[in-house]
Amino acid sequence: MSAPKALVLDFGGVVTRTLFETHDLTERALGLPTGTLQWRGPFEPGSDPLWRAMQAGEISERDYWLTRTREVGRLVGEEWQRMETFVRRARGADPEAVVRPEAAAAIRIAHDAGIRLAILSNELDLFYGSDFRARLPLLSLFEAIVDATYTQVLKPDARAYAAVAEALGLPAEDCVFVDDQHRNSAGADAAGMRAVLFDVRDPFRSFDEALGHFGLALAMPERSIHA
């Protein structure tokens, strides 16, 4: 097998910290008492039945987050119907504050090594807003962004992986794909990509594994494990 040429990343959960990891920031931003938000998704799946339903394929990821959006909106006395509202209100005007330091380091290492970069997301602009890309300079390093907000083709549909490979002008086997959802990682593998299942509980190891496909390593001052 030849050496891969491109690193393809999911966005939310891989490039940015999950909303599960930033409950404290969300509560402060919305004026909610500390400890109000209890759902923890992959960090405490036993206490999050809605997350378990999503993982079992009973509801979609979008369904999960729309439910959480409505719940949090009601906590502040509002009716929220769009995930974009939740993300903007919770995370404010500084998107760089929620970028994983491991992600920023890995992306720059790959870019400096001449590795081509792409994003394959089910809901980048749907969740973050159409102006988000311009407010996050790190995204300027990516030559292709394929977003199901517009294509309406969701991972793990094989057409989603084909679309990002086509955007890069590469065969699927030349791409290393990283996603925090098992079904999306499995979909990439089935499409012929080299898949890395991202562990949100250990982002350093996950990015180091991804870079390892290119003969690179992630070097950071401190190993960061979010829990």
Residues in the chain: 227
Q: Would you say residue 154 lies in a domain?
A: yes
Residues 155, 109, single domain; the answer is yes
Whether 86 and 164 share a structural domain: no
Q: Which of 46, 71, 95 is the last residue of a domain?
A: 95
Residue where a domain terminates, one of 95, 126, 157? 95
Q: 11 and 117, same structural domain?
A: yes
* Residue 224 placed within a domain: no
**Confidence category of residue 1, pLDDT binned at 50, 70, 90:** low
Number of domains in the chain: 2
pLDDT, tens digit, 9 for 90 and up, residues 100-127: 999 999 999 999 999 999 999 998 888 8
- Answer yes or no: do 155 and 91 share one domain: no
Q: Does a structural domain hold residue 226?
A: no
Based on the fold, state whether residues 12 and 120 are members of the same structural domain.
Answer: yes
Share of the chain above pLDDT 70, in %: 95
Tell me, yes or no, whether 204 lies in a domain: yes
Task: Specify whether 80 is located in the same domain as 110.
Answer: no
Asked, for residue 219, whether it belongs to a domain, the answer is: no
Residue 165 C-alpha from the chain's centroid: 18
| CATH number of 151's domain | 3.40.50.1000
In a domain, 173, yes or no: yes
Claim to verify: residue 68 and residue 153 sit in the same structural domain: no
Question: 88 and 104: one domain?
Answer: no
pLDDT (tens digit, 9 = 90+) per residue, 129-183? 788 888 899 999 999 999 999 999 999 999 999 999 999 999 999 999 999 999 9
Res. 226: pLDDT tops 50: no
Q: State the pTM of this model.
A: 0.86
Query: In terms of residue numbers, what domain contains 29?
Result: 23-95
Average pLDDT of the chain is 92
Query: Which neighbouring-strand residues pair with 116?
Result: 6
Among the candidates 31, 64, 95, a domain finishes at 95
121 and 12 share one domain: yes
Verify that 113 and 90 share a domain, yes or no. Answer: no
Tokens matching residue 86: 């939740």
Query: Could you report the per-residue pLDDT of 74-98, keeping only the tens digit for each?
Result: 999 999 998 888 988 887 657 787 8
3-state secondary structure string across the chain: CCCCCEEEECCECCCECCCCCCHHHHHHHHCCCCCCCCCCHHHCHHHCHHHHHHHCCCCCHHHHHHHHHHHHHHHCCCCCCCHHHHHHHHHCCCHHHHECHHHHHHHHHHHHCCCEEEEEECCHHHHHCCCCHHHCHHHHHCCEEEEHHHHCCCCCCHHHHHHHHHHHCCCHHHEEEEECCHHHHHHHHHCCCEEEECCCCCHHHHHHHHHHCCCCCCCCCCCCCCC
